[in-house]
Structure 1
């Protein structure tokens, strides 16, 4: 709905056509910068998070740094599309970038994990618009026949950020100081120049939108969505600490369920102005594939939030080394994307690609579930590559599968639902799986120390006063009773290997639980995805064909 000169409207080869295409390419650069900033932020922070948490003395609270980001980005993902319909794409997109940059600066200035979590929430408010509005602006700019070519660049951006992010995160985390600030703070400050460039391009190149929607903003939908998501996710985060049957936990779950009921009622009442129009959910294809989308989001984001901890804490890799260990996964995503896109475009078949991706992800996740403290790193690398290939196949076609169940008049909201439900799943997955890990690690470590009593090397270290008198080793001896210190893990770097061995084995076993649960969730998603009958898409027409001529190029 951005007011653009339509590429298909100009006479081919005319000066106006050439100018318009140059403008489209410049707008794409701005959108790609915004997407790169958002995607880079997630991967760069994952690699640096252990260092950040150790520096701020809040390793056990690190889940909130991701959860607060995900909560606010989920909520605002559902808002930005509707806001841009009412107020225009250009001002809403630039606002999203500005909020994200502000949040990045505040994160870089944070002095505690509590403040970091709050400021990550500010980042998330901006991040919610960077992806959803990029797709909306692209839909306005180019006709359907050309759209897949541009969407491939969006996928490439995520592949590049997945490569650059872990390495850059490890690099910044490894710096003691840079230009007067701790190295990890530059993992946030790097967003500033990228965001400024993206906002300037979009502000100058995207034209004013003349035909804006006249709907009123769905305030009731927003309020009830917040009432639903925030209590549910807070309950999941605090459940292991409070107890799942505690009054506070049950009260939050009840409040969240009440919010869900009220949200559904608000959406039904809002009609065309709803954040998520209810008629979309009457189509079983749309409902089932979004359920799969949410399950996959929970399983993947949850499992991958724990994998960097395994590489850094259990295997002792530096942040940079851990980032490089994720390269096989990145390569898998990129290669699979290059295979899946042309196959679906040529044949119109998406279900076989989706199911193949899920099978590979199930296999990879259960492989992760076998990783122990003494597992060779090459096994982790192969499993990560297999996981990446599955992700590349699955999410490359997930949006296509969801679109097959959406009526044309709801296509914009349907596209937004893809990000919305994936983010809901990812938010819940990170909160649940990190809570599961921190809840299980104490018992697993204590059991590992009991089993180590028969190890002569361990017994010799326990009975050596020169070993037990060291501060790092005293921390490990306290872990024998389940008192596992999770706010700062830097003591492992100075601990006696004989005393640290049971600790690392217990950590790995706690992580295995997370990976196994993730695998079960992906199995459920696989079964669910196999149920709907494939609604075959028509293969892409040749350029200049009848379909291209009939496709409008300006509106969602």
Structure 2
């Protein structure tokens, strides 16, 4: 065997066994990005905090995003398996505490702890695949992970809906089970990973860039606080918001300077000289923003505007899952067969953009078959894009850079999800306030009696608790629902051109020949 061959080549069966452990861990993390989407309505009504509802998602995304680059580096030092298992345990602890939360503050804090574990589950999954499978063969396996994402995109909202539709299950408030259900799956993941994850470990000495990690966490936190909290709450020109934006710029600048001097930077700037790395980082950010914008807003539309139960809203996301799963597996297999990958993210991002544009035509009377077509398009676009971007990156970097490179790519996708969730949540809140105000102003002219039946305090209450909508008179209810629909339109119209930009950027991707196992750089020694 030539010197450039891996020291350990895994058989198809061995890879599938390892995949079972990885997919179990990743399913946990992916589920919890979506499981709260249909349960959010019940949670915020229980805690009376609609204005902070996006923080239940954003806190999770923030910590999972900020911790992602660290996991790649730490696993280089201590090995993939113990670090992966640490992530599982951290995730489970956060799940248990989230289920026991007594108010929105506690829930947001414990979701942040969950995210800390999820960052490792998501990042290390792709790092490990990069360790054990050649670029040419990755398509057939990473298609399975696209299927996991597809499954979680529906199973999450469906489980969340089922639990939140029940007041109590076994004497415990229904929505709390969306966190407790993680416990048996997490224990199973620990058992599987203990048995099968005997993975590569570097024999080089490493140092951890703690100061770089601190700078990136503070920088991302400042940005998200400005976008999702101080901006919508106090105004975009308020001194608090401006200070946070300035902090973000200063900290990001300090991070870039420090990374240029660090012995082993958490995000080596030299990687950005690689055209594929830079391009896939930008596009992953775009995909993350668009993905979470669609997955979070769609269940909210179904429950608030269409009046669906949480369970029903989850079931109606099945077309989205079908699009993701079918296209993830299809594109993965085609890439392994042909060695060509560039076309898939270009088509995928274009299709996803069209799907979101079509969603901006949704009304209070749109039928489910029409919505299903739109959802399939968005799902198909995601399925064609997400995994193929990672494959393109893995094929362009050396084995020694796999951990930090793939972790960085996951970081940018998670950062896109965090920023996208915060921005789209802010857009929805701002447009809703404007549309409610203009809607009731018009109602006061056309039907003064109906407008007089609701007080300004009740209108403000609708922004915090949508359960009040069902108690309104028909004419007033129609005004409120139209305000919501028009607000959703703006969100979808804002997301579509961003994804179209991603498709245009991918046109510049330089498609490299897909390497086979014997063409890879030397693999590290086994644990």
Is residue 529 from structure 1 mapped to residue 510 from structure 2 by the alignment? no
Specify the alignment match of 1:6 in structure 2.
8
Q: Is the 8 A contact 1:143 1:554 kept in 2?
A: no
Which of residues 297, 305, 318 is equivalent to 2:296? 305
Is residue 257 from structure 1 mapped to residue 249 from structure 2 by the alignment? yes
Q: Deviations along 1:118-158, whole A, 9 cap, x unmatched?
A: 11000000000012222333344455565444333322222
Superposed CA RMSD:
2.4
**Which runs of 5 or more residues in structure 1 are unaligned?**
9-16, 469-473, 541-546
Q: Is the 8 A contact 1:299 1:518 kept in 2?
A: yes
Q: How far apart are 1:306 and its partner, in Å?
A: 1.8
Q: Deviations along 1:232-266, whole A, 9 cap, x unmatched?
A: 11001120221111111111011111110111122
Specify the alignment match of 2:524 in structure 1.
555
Q: Which one is further off, 87-96 or 446-455?
A: 446-455
Specify the alignment match of 1:174 in structure 2.
165
Q: How far apart are 1:372 and its partner, in Å?
A: 2.2
User: Tell me, what secondary structure is at the counterpart of 1:221?
Assistant: helix
Distance 1:476 1:300, change over 3 A: farther
Is residue 423 from structure 1 mapped to residue 414 from structure 2 by the alignment? yes
2: distance between equivalents of 1:178 and 1:368? 35
Distance 1:36 1:431, change over 3 A: same
Is residue 391 from structure 1 mapped to residue 382 from structure 2 by the alignment? yes
Which of residues 432, 436, 441 is equivalent to 2:427? 436
Specify the alignment match of 2:181 in structure 1.
190
1: distance between equivalents of 2:278 and 2:457? 51
Q: How far apart are 1:187 and its partner, in Å?
A: 0.6
2: distance between equivalents of 1:475 and 1:130? 48
Larger radius of gyration: 1
TM-score of the superposed pair, with normalisation by structure 1:
0.87
Specify the alignment match of 1:494 in structure 2.
471
Is residue 503 from structure 1 mapped to residue 480 from structure 2 by the alignment? yes
Which of residues 253, 260, 268 is equivalent to 1:268? 260
Q: Is the 8 A contact 1:139 1:554 kept in 2?
A: no
2: distance between equivalents of 1:477 and 1:29? 53
Distance 1:405 1:548, change over 3 A: closer
Distance 1:140 1:347, change over 3 A: closer
Distance 1:409 1:223, change over 3 A: same
**Which runs of 5 or more residues in structure 2 are unaligned?**
1-5
Which of residues 79, 98, 103 is equivalent to 1:107? 98
Specify the alignment match of 2:35 in structure 1.
44
Q: How far apart are 1:174 and its partner, in Å?
A: 0.6
Q: Which one is further off, 202-211 or 64-73?
A: 202-211
TM-score of the superposed pair, with normalisation by structure 2:
0.92
Q: Is the 8 A contact 2:136 2:335 kept in 1?
A: no
How do 1:90-489 residues align onto structure 2 when only pairs under 5 Å count?
90-142=81-133, 146-207=137-198, 211-237=202-228, 238-271=230-263, 273-453=264-444, 461=450, 468=453, 474=454, 478-479=458-459, 483=460, 485-489=462-466
Q: Is the 8 A contact 1:284 1:405 kept in 2?
A: no
**Alignment: residue pair count:** 519
